[in-house]
Structure 1
Amino acid sequence: MRIRFGPFTLDFERRQLTNAGEDIHLEPKAFELLSALVLERPKALSKAELQERLWPGTFVAEANLSNLVAEIRAALGDPARAPTFVRTVHGFGYAFCGDAEPVTDPGDAAPVPEPPESGDGSEARAATGSPPPPSSRLPWLVAGALAAALAATAVITLSRDRGLASAADPVQFTIAPPEHASFGGPSRGGTGTATQLAVSPDGRHIVFVAHAGTAFQIWLRPVATLDATPIPGTDGGSFPFWSPDSRAIGFFADGKLKTVQIVGGPPVVVADAPFGSGGSWSRDNVILFAPGPSQTGLLRVSSTGGSPTVATTLDRTAGEDVHRWPHFLPDGRHFFYTAVTGPCCPASTPSAIRIGSLDRPGDDVTFLQAESSMSYASGHAIFAHGESLMARPFDLETRQLHGEAFPLAARVAREPSRYVGASVSENGTLVYGQAVPDAARRLTWFDRTGRILGTLSEAAPYAGLALSPDDRRVAVTLETGSQDNVDIWLIDIARNITSRLTVDPGRDVSPVWSPDSKRIVFQSSRAQQPIAMRQTSSDGAGADELLLEGPRNFTMTPSGWSSDGQFIAYTTRGSNVWILPLLGDKKPFAFAETPFIEASAVFSPDGPWIAYTSNEGGQIDVYVQSFPGPGAKAQVSRNGGTHPVWRADGRELFYLAADGTMMAVPVGAGRSFEAGPPRALFSSNAWRLTANQVYAVTTDGQRFLVTTTPQTSSGAAPLTVVLNWTATIHK
């Protein structure tokens, strides 16, 4: 059965709204609501009656209904103040006010006459063959629609004594990682710890990122089955998101934004995205995405490709660093996103959740401070507070929060990049990854074969490591009492004694030693001061010295100090490599400044070369380039590489492969750079979620001090699935 009104057609068999033959996406509940109003036209239906039809036996806030009406009006282009199709009956409910007529296709069977009924005119209808009034069909159509919805929702239950749960009951179960695989995501600063996942709008499928074998892939798991399979062509993929019709996903891999159909077929490259941090796909086939890595707002592009255009612009006066994690609202024109100020991770300034508009870019509204991404479902804004997943009523018409926030789940996985490992479908399916406490890391000694020689100091959440050139002390980054107070500490290797070096109640991170082991340069973020590079004496004598500071939240992370003591290499907030001279005019200059991500620059011991990482080839690899340049450049790693470190004599260059294996590259002597093939030494189990150094090599190149992680991690924690989560409200 189909009913036409204006240019629109409701197809009840396909459960699809079309406009001049083009499908228009509606949430399942929105389709049911529009169907009820059309079939009962011109009768006004009360809010209470509609709520009971749509959510039978379940308490839901009235905002859920008004949000569905807002979605319908957006799909029909029907303004609330001058409606053509759906009008508000103030103080009562809603009614369909447009002209509508059934559509009869050639070959349709004639209507079956109804049994005669005394006194109501049914005999005349039977004689003429005319169909009954629309209202007489409504109970059957609505019942069928609700039955289909319930069948899709109440699929699985773990309760042995109750059988299949009723529609009003929430159902919860867990999903373990695939066999021989672990949840997670490709490691990079601020990401990789939380499970990256997304549930389809229709609630029938879940996609997640998992590592199996030698690569991360995106896996597909139907909610109603126990099997998950990797989606071909998604190697290295991260941060998946769904198309509105639940038939395809978008994701990031190889420095690109890509899409792929879940039924099969090759992925399609849509746009460049060097450091993709979230995407959202509207029913108008617009993809909104964060290209990264920093100094960028959101971009928009057609899902079929083309030239991206600017969707949001950074607020330079506020020192914003990047916009991430977009999420379209049901109208397909407005969206949530997270505005981040300051370096990752975490930033020194609170992040803000904003609402942007495709139609009026620049008129973005800040309405909540939260170290989180935000999504929308079933009349609520969904976000994280601490490790709790929260929901707060949100009105789509006014685009305002109202009421109080309440918890949906505890211990939800999240990352310093503000990503939250949770997703909610349009029909009430909630999926989230479980947070695992940040386990203390060990400083572990290895020889070149991977044999463990011992450990140094106590286990702690070390976030940076640097070995002094004289092999006597190790500088590490450690929290001192709170997350906002991070300092540089020194470990005396011979005596195994740890002592605090910096004492300011701010964030002092990323230590780098001077070649004579007498000084340490570090990044400093202190109250009421710009982020800066400072240096201090390694014996703790005297006050630290300011070397360089930038405007507001401009960041500079030191990574290398030249053997002659004259230059310091550092990474800027835009993820480029710059050099600070310590003599002469001391004016910084760019060494590697491209549209790509460059970081982790270290000087060769003999001076004429710098090793650094870049994703210019689509993945992060190690490169060596002449200094001061411009000059020759060579790729050193193969199939990915991070965290380069030179041997003290310059005859060997080490790095970590994509799977954490310690690699060694022989380097020839002479004025030109000549490198041999990379050779695997041992599996390091290194903690790599930072661009700072996480291992060090002794002067003779025979021992490695590595920041190692325990074997247990969030990758082993199962996903939690909650069907019909809205039934938990006020219960």
Structure 2
Amino acid sequence: LWGWLRPTPAPAVNRFSLFLPPEQVLQPVTQSGNRVAISPDGKRLVYVGPAERGGRLWLREHDQLSSTPIAGTDGAGTPFFSPDGRHVGFLVNGTKLRTVSLDGGPVLTLSDSVNSTGGDWGPDGYIYVEVDSGIARLRSSGGTTELLYNALKRKEVGAEWPVLLPGARAMVFRTRRANQAATDFQIVVMKLPDGEPKVLMRGVYARYSPTGHLLVATADGKLLAVPFDPEKLEVTGSPSGLLEGIGVEGTGFAINLGLSENGTLVYTTGGATGSRRPVWVSREGVESPVDPAWQPQGIIANFALSPDGKALAVDVVQNGINTVWVKQLPAGPYSRLTFGDSGNMRPTWSADGRSVVYLADVTNTGGTPTMRRADGTGSARTLLPPGPTWGQALQTRDSRWLVLRSSFFGTGKGNIFGVRMGDTTLVPLASSPATEGDAGVSPNGRWLAYTSEESGVFEIYVRPFPDAESARWQVSAAGGSDPVWSRSGRELFYLSAQNEMMSVEVAPGAVFSINPPKRLFSTGPYTPIGPVPSFDVSPDDKRFLLLRETTPTDRNELIVVQNWVEEMKARAGR
């Protein structure tokens, strides 16, 4: 009788480090979002780990000593579990929403036109994700999207990372405005499906805890417990500090944090803010620094080397806004080229090396091709009238053409066009139902290289330029991306599906002819960029410029705390 009447002891808190061997390690940040997820019962972990090219999802069962890759998830990011823990939703390149069964079965594509960095799967049968205009939901079986929160009407540039409250009666998410620092992002709660949104506090990420708190991560890596009433949708007390140094990365656009319904917490420590640096890599794979003293003052998103190799145009993310800078090489000044409230990104160089071509007035779907002198003098010049937004823009070596790639989020999903400088008539160069990208014209102006997934995987193709419909050749044989012409035009470089730098010799003449691809070195240690090529080539074609993550970020371990809610109750005074 005494054993029945005495209070049940609180479950013991069990904290341990889950080691990830090199072949299973957490991937560096290449996409925004949360890179770890834990099942509702706390028995399964899914995270973004390595693949032959980029990342894919890996599964770690609680009773297993090793993780296993999840088939069909190459390129995946931002995993999230179904309510029963048997399926995982994920995003590919921020545009494709897919689900996969952990019990086996095909990967299902629910949408190929979202614009998302986060998602959540509700017990109501809906998946909640970001779209161009805000936050929407669609059935977990597919169908049309239903807009729930319109960020554009509120003059916000982002409404992101939706997380459902119990019963899917409401959701919390974050919002941000143009030129707003991550420290000023706001956590918002909204009753579903059409309640009035309420700002709760500042933070970069929030999710509900079964203790009756919101867990709020801040831009500087603090985790706060905020007393919260999920019925009234109101904060009911002051925040309490729980943890410091959790893995908030990419100036607040990536995080590694999950909490199960039964109170198991998973997270990483340390961030990597400002840790990317360009490095030189020889054809033999020998690395050397560009300028060890250079501090980019933000996260380098992409870059382009000037025709003479003496300057570097850099797209730097500062407080969530893309800005273009110019760095004089090897150890010269570093100066900002673009200003204003809107973002500017993905710089390339004019043919004469005196100006930078970039995308201005950036929205969630792309930007407007613009040119400005690299020394900062004069005004920026818009190259095309207002119209569709573009995801890539570059000038041909003879200065006669501008080559454009349409936004992945618009109609056509990345078709490639050309337009004569000073004209506005678009000439289709590579247009199909598949996704095309990474356009580049050879130095002699005869050939257009690009990527396409028309075969089901991305491969490298070449067409005549500008008469692109007259012929087509496939260059890669088992997957490829990031085609870049050598400065001499005698080679075409690309990245293989196995993270290797490949070289293809191109014969001179009016007929396109190539030798078989040759491997140069592994690009595994370097950071893939994504929508534009991840590397550039020196004027003598002897060195490659790539990005490296230079600050260790404890990617080889996940910290797991079982029954963490008991510890949280004590710390939060409950």
TM-score by length of 2: 0.78
Matched, 1:695 2:538: no
Whole-angstrom CA distance in 2 between matches of 1:609 and 1:318: 45
Q: Which has the higher contact order (CA 8 A, sep 6+)?
A: 2
Moved more, 500-509 or 655-664: 500-509
Residue 483 of structure 1: CA displacement? 7.2
Whole-angstrom CA distance in 1 between matches of 2:535 and 2:195: 46
State the AA in 2 paired with 1:175: L
**Aligned CA distance change for structure 1 residues 401 and 599 (closer, same or farther; 3 Å):** farther
Residue 257 of structure 1: CA displacement? 1.0
- 1:56-135 aligned at under 5 Å gives the runs none
**Aligned CA distance change for structure 1 residues 210 and 545 (closer, same or farther; 3 Å):** closer
2:60 alignment partner, one of 218, 221, 235: 221
How many residues in Structure 1 have an aligned counterpart in Structure 2? 550
Matched, 1:662 2:501: yes
**Aligned CA distance change for structure 1 residues 589 and 189 (closer, same or farther; 3 Å):** farther
| 2:272–2:551 Cα contact (<8 Å) kept | no
State the AA in 2 paired with 1:265: G
Matched, 1:199 2:38: yes
The aligned counterpart of 1:390 is: 224
* RMSD of aligned alpha carbons: 4.4
Deviations 1:253-311 (A, max 9, x none): 695612213xx433442524467643333334433345x6x568534123xx3534435
**Aligned CA distance change for structure 1 residues 633 and 438 (closer, same or farther; 3 Å):** farther
Whole-angstrom CA distance in 2 between matches of 1:400 and 1:634: 61
Whole-angstrom CA distance in 1 between matches of 2:324 and 2:129: 35
Residue 176 of structure 1: CA displacement? 1.8
The aligned counterpart of 1:568 is: 402
State the AA in 1 paired with 2:128: L
Deviations 1:568-600 (A, max 9, x none): 345565554566856444466776677765544
Moved more, 657-666 or 589-598: 589-598
Matched, 1:326 2:153: no
Whole-angstrom CA distance in 1 between matches of 2:348 and 2:543: 19
The aligned counterpart of 1:490 is: 327
Matched, 1:429 2:264: yes
The aligned counterpart of 2:444 is: 606
The aligned counterpart of 1:465 is: 303
Matched, 1:380 2:216: no
| 1:512–1:558 Cα contact (<8 Å) kept | no
Deviations 1:63-103 (A, max 9, x none): xxxxxxxxxxxxxxxxxxxxxxxxxxxxxxxxxxxxxxxxx
| 2:281–2:288 Cα contact (<8 Å) kept | yes
Residue 682 of structure 1: CA displacement? 0.7
Residue 622 of structure 1: CA displacement? 4.2
The aligned counterpart of 1:211 is: 50
Q: Which has the larger radius of gyration?
A: 1
Higher strand share: 2
Whole-angstrom CA distance in 1 between matches of 2:237 and 2:276: 42
The aligned counterpart of 1:257 is: 98
Residue 199 of structure 1: CA displacement? 1.8
Whole-angstrom CA distance in 2 between matches of 1:550 and 1:406: 52
| 1:337–1:356 Cα contact (<8 Å) kept | no
**Aligned CA distance change for structure 1 residues 487 and 281 (closer, same or farther; 3 Å):** closer
State the AA in 2 paired with 1:645: V
**Aligned CA distance change for structure 1 residues 585 and 328 (closer, same or farther; 3 Å):** same
| 1:647–1:701 Cα contact (<8 Å) kept | yes
Q: Secondary structure at the match of 1:398?
A: coil
Higher helix share: 1
State the AA in 1 paired with 2:326: W
Q: Secondary structure at the match of 2:555?
A: helix
Q: Could you list the runs of 5+ residues in structure 2 that have no partner in the other structure?
A: none
Identity percentage of aligned residues: 26
Whole-angstrom CA distance in 1 between matches of 2:271 and 2:376: 40
| 1:297–1:322 Cα contact (<8 Å) kept | no
Whole-angstrom CA distance in 2 between matches of 1:352 and 1:614: 39
| 1:312–1:356 Cα contact (<8 Å) kept | no
Q: Secondary structure at the match of 1:331?
A: helix
Deviations 1:170-198 (A, max 9, x none): 4433222146421127x64546xx6x222
Matched, 1:680 2:519: yes
Deviations 1:460-518 (A, max 9, x none): 444433222233333334579x876945123234xx42342637477654331111122
Residue 451 of structure 1: CA displacement? 2.9
| 1:239–1:252 Cα contact (<8 Å) kept | yes
The aligned counterpart of 2:378 is: 543
Residue 422 of structure 1: CA displacement? 0.9
**Aligned CA distance change for structure 1 residues 399 and 613 (closer, same or farther; 3 Å):** farther
The aligned counterpart of 1:45 is: none
**Aligned CA distance change for structure 1 residues 711 and 322 (closer, same or farther; 3 Å):** closer
**Aligned CA distance change for structure 1 residues 688 and 581 (closer, same or farther; 3 Å):** same
The aligned counterpart of 1:710 is: 550
